[in-house]
Amino acid sequence: MEKMSILGKTEQYAKGAREMIYCVEDERNIRELLIYTLETTGFQAKGFENGKELQKALEEEVPELILLDIMLPGEDGYSILEKLKNNSVTRNIPVIMVTAKEAEYDKVRGLEGGADDYITKPFGMMEFVARVKAVLRRSSRQVEDRELRCSDLYIKVKRHEVWYKERKIDLTRKEFELLLYLMENKSLVMTRNQILCHVWGYDFDGETRTVDVHVRSLRQKLGEAGNYIETVRGVGYRIGA
């Protein structure tokens, strides 16, 4: 009952103003405690049992921070971290590794893999919240929005916005990732397989035709700027040659 009333209070915070934090933790009690603690300190939080659930959620919304347990059933936290850091959309999300392992080895491995901080179970909730806030402060200072340009077409990477001249263009998540990938590799020809692998992930069991279909819809939405995407016959696509 007590829990419900506190959770009810957090609903009064303005939606959207609160930062979203994703928690990947297979132990239900810990996961619920983390979410409860975050929600009662003014954050929004969602919990996931494994990397698959996290991936699905990332398709919908990119959070401000991810708490990532290392020991998970199936794919472990290190592997999930690696995927996050290899994807242009999720690369800049700060990650705190949460683990029961005390060994120095794990700490080094997590930080070298691109994690922003590291917290060892068991930890107190005060310390936990302080760490979360510290990482969020650091990341908001660091990540000035990166802008990628191709003539009058530009992407505000962190805001996930695409602009052509003074007009904002709405894209689906995959169209955005596709354009971002081409822009990051400006003037280089990207093969269909490279695009498929990067935008849809290495587990994706799709056909290269998927890429063509998305390029077509992307071009349509970009209008005039769609001409910036060049088809290189028999190879793939290139932007800004």
DSSP 83: H
- Segment interacting with Ca ion, rule: CB under 5 A, options 71-79, 124-132, 175-183, 215-223: 71-79
By C-beta, is 26 or 230 nearer to Ca ion?
A: 26
Beta bridge partners of 98: 69, 119
Give the residue with the Cβ less far from Ca ion, 26 or 184: 26
Nearest by Cα to 178 from 237, 137, 130 = 237
Q: Which is nearer to Ca ion, 77 or 236 (CB)?
A: 77
92's tokens: 């800049």
> One-letter amino acid identity for 124?
G
Pairing of strands 65-69, 20-24: parallel
* Span of 68-76, 106-114, 179-187, 202-210 interacting with Ca ion by CB under 5 A: 68-76
Among 20, 33, 62, 71, binds Ca ion (CB under 5 A): 71
Q: How many residues bind Ca ion (CB under 5 A)?
A: 3
Which residue's CB is nearer to Ca ion, number 119 or number 189? 119
Q: What's the closest the beta carbon of residue 26 comes to Ca ion, in angstroms? A: 5
- Residues 88 and 127: their CA atoms lie apart, in Å, by 31
Binding positions for Ca ion, 204-233, rule CB under 5 A: none
Contact set for Ca ion, span 6-65 (CB under 5 A): 26
Q: Please say which residue, 25 or 39, places its beta carbon nearer to Ca ion.
A: 25
Whichever of 29 and 227 has its CB closer to Ca ion, that residue is 29
Q: Is 69 in the site for Ca ion (CB under 5 A)?
A: yes
Query: CB under 5 A: which stretch of 4-12, 69-77, 154-162, 185-193 binds Ca ion?
Result: 69-77
**Residue 54 burial class via C-beta count within 10 angstroms: exposed 0-12, middle 13-18, buried 19 and up:** buried
Q: Which lies closer to Ca ion via its Cβ, residue 71 or residue 129?
A: 71
- 23 sits in which H/E element: strand 20-24
- To which residue do tokens 């822009």 refer? 183
| Residue nearest to Ca ion as judged by C-beta position | 71
Residues 225/164, Cβ–Cβ less than 8 Å: yes
CA end-to-end distance (rounded Å), the chain: 62
Give bridge partners of residue 140 from the DSSP assignment.
none
Q: Which of 30, 21, 23, 98 is nearest to 62 (CA)?
A: 21
| Contact residues: Ca ion, CB under 5 A | 26, 69, 71
